[in-house]
Amino acid sequence: MRTNIKAALLAAALLMSSGPALAEGNFWLWLVNFSRQKEVQAVDNKVWKEECGSCHFAYQPGLLPGKSWVKLLDEKALADHFGEDASLDKETLKEVSDYAMANAAENSMYKRSRKIALATADGEVPLRITEVRYIKRKHHDIPEKMVKGNKDVKSQAYCNACHTKAEEGIFDEDTVDIPNFPDRD
């Protein structure tokens, strides 16, 4: 019994003294919040879905930290959004920006978003979801022929090409179906 208590105290001390726990900001709020979820929050904003989803998959804001959304949703950046003019009127831009910031990785109670927040806490400001270290690590073992060499996927930026429940914010390995590679294991 004493060994279990000592182990629990040691684990708590290690957790509190670790960099990720300290970087978490509202770690205790997250820990005791019973509404936290496993994946990322699904997009529930009509304007976000319409504006962002008109050209590509409407990525959930919880897939990037707020500092990334600030750069991506800058008026000049939107004028050349990965080679496209994605400019928005001021009112729409404000709604989209407010939604992105309120639901950015570090403001989310969703577990996968929290991991992204931790992976980008050290100053990293990825402009693409595929640049996030956590996302790279989750995809490191997928051969290039399954992605870039796959006419139905093309790149990892097309999350919904393989993640069958991506629109719902579910990126679990159990929901992955890589087109043209039914037996990927």
CB 10: neighbour CB atoms within 10 A? 10
User: pLDDT digits over 5-25, tens only?
Assistant: 766 665 555 555 444 443 444
Whole-number pLDDT of residue 18 = 45
CB 121: neighbour CB atoms within 10 A? 18
Whole-number pLDDT of residue 22 = 39
Question: Does 72 score more than 50 pLDDT?
Answer: yes
pTM > 0.85: yes or no: no
What count of Cα atoms within 13 Å lies in the side-chain half-sphere of residue 141?
Answer: 4
Whole-number pLDDT of residue 27 = 55
> Tokens 């726990």 correspond to what residue?
21
Question: Does 32 score more than 90 pLDDT?
Answer: no
Cβ-based neighbours of 61, under 8 Å, separated by 6 or more: 41, 43, 48, 69, 99, 100, 101, 102, 103, 104, 105
User: pLDDT digits over 146-161, tens only?
Assistant: 999 899 999 899 999 9
As given in the structure block, the two tokens for residue 143 are 């051969």
